[in-house]
Amino acid sequence: MAVQNIHLGWAAKNVPDSGLEDITFPMAMPNAPHEEGYYFEQAIAFENTPKGMDPNLVIYTGLQPRPDRNGKSIVHAAFSSFFPGTTTSDSNCYDTADGGPGVSCAIDVQSSYDDTFHLHIKVANQTSYVGTLINHSSGQRWPMGSFDLPTGVSGMKGGNWVGFMEYYLTTIDDCSKYPDTAAIFGSPFTSTTGVNMSLTDPFKDQACDDTMPWHVTEVAQGTLEITIGKNTTTSKRPISTTATKAGTSSTVVCGSHSPKDEPTPHPGWDGPAPNPGWDGPAPNPGWDGPAPNPGWDGPAPNQGWDGPASSDEPN
């Protein structure tokens, strides 16, 4: 039986009645052991459900560690619906979700655990939902799967149902003996205009008592690393809120620069980009002299950025 050890959700303000057009969940797991057993997940609730259907049903997406194959690290990404009547013709998907009604989609990809991943969910039409895994550090993309929800289900939103860090292999009676792991969750974002999104406070599930060691570290504004276990290390490098160029050693979770076909984390901004050709960190954020752009009244970019990781840090 699976145990949802830690819960972590998200909230959205100013969501239109029609719901979100898309949502992207930034995640990373640089300190997670390359072992099967844990699921790092976020859920999406819906504004509208047919009469007689459970209004608390959701769709899931998230990452799971896997053992290395042929010396290469493997990342497992999942995307699933728990709505009865969900249908799919996608080769990455199959009928049933956790043994019950719904559809499950999943892929295994070869990718570094030092990279940041964006799990992008979008509405393709009124009932079709498409999940894409994006390596935000390299730009590589993989389709996770797609399915059609039942007619009458619409309006993606945040809800009372929250995400989790779950150990799904077996129930362990002694909560102090769950394997060590760690995952980083960034604040989600959307292209839907005017919506403000944030993570909710993590909390331990009642299934485990205080003998299960766990810890939360805010590694950047709106970005949390959650560890389970006594021996798990937190991220050694600063986690930037700005995407760096592919190939650097920084782990980027909550980015203000996205590939052109991803929604921007600042969808309400309609002015010119201050540096349209620049995709690296903003220079000299600690400069206390006169501002180079004194007329700028938008948000200050990269407030938490303290420079790229040094070249002698591990990749």
CB 1 within 8 A of CB 205: no
Max CA separation in the chain (angstroms): 63
Q: Residue 232 and residue 252: Cα distance in Å, rounded?
A: 20
State residue 266's pLDDT score.
36
State residue 195's pLDDT score.
94
Q: Residue 139 and residue 258: Cα distance in Å, rounded?
A: 9
Q: Residue 60 and residue 104: Cα distance in Å, rounded?
A: 9
Q: Residue 26 and residue 106: Cα distance in Å, rounded?
A: 17
State residue 89's pLDDT score.
97
Q: Is 2.60.120 the CATH classification of the domain at 3-252?
A: yes
* pLDDT one digit per residue (tens) for the chain, 315 residues: 577 788 898 999 999 999 999 999 999 999 999 999 999 999 999 999 999 999 889 999 999 999 999 999 999 999 999 999 999 999 999 998 888 888 999 999 999 999 999 999 999 988 999 999 999 999 999 999 999 999 999 999 986 667 889 999 877 878 888 999 999 999 999 999 999 999 999 988 888 888 889 999 999 999 999 999 876 665 544 333 332 222 222 333 433 323 333 443 433 333 333 333 434 444 444 444 444 444 444 444 444 444 444 434 444
Residue 128, Cβ neighbours under 10 Å: how many?
Answer: 14
State residue 234's pLDDT score.
59
Name the pTM for this structure.
Answer: 0.74
State residue 231's pLDDT score.
65
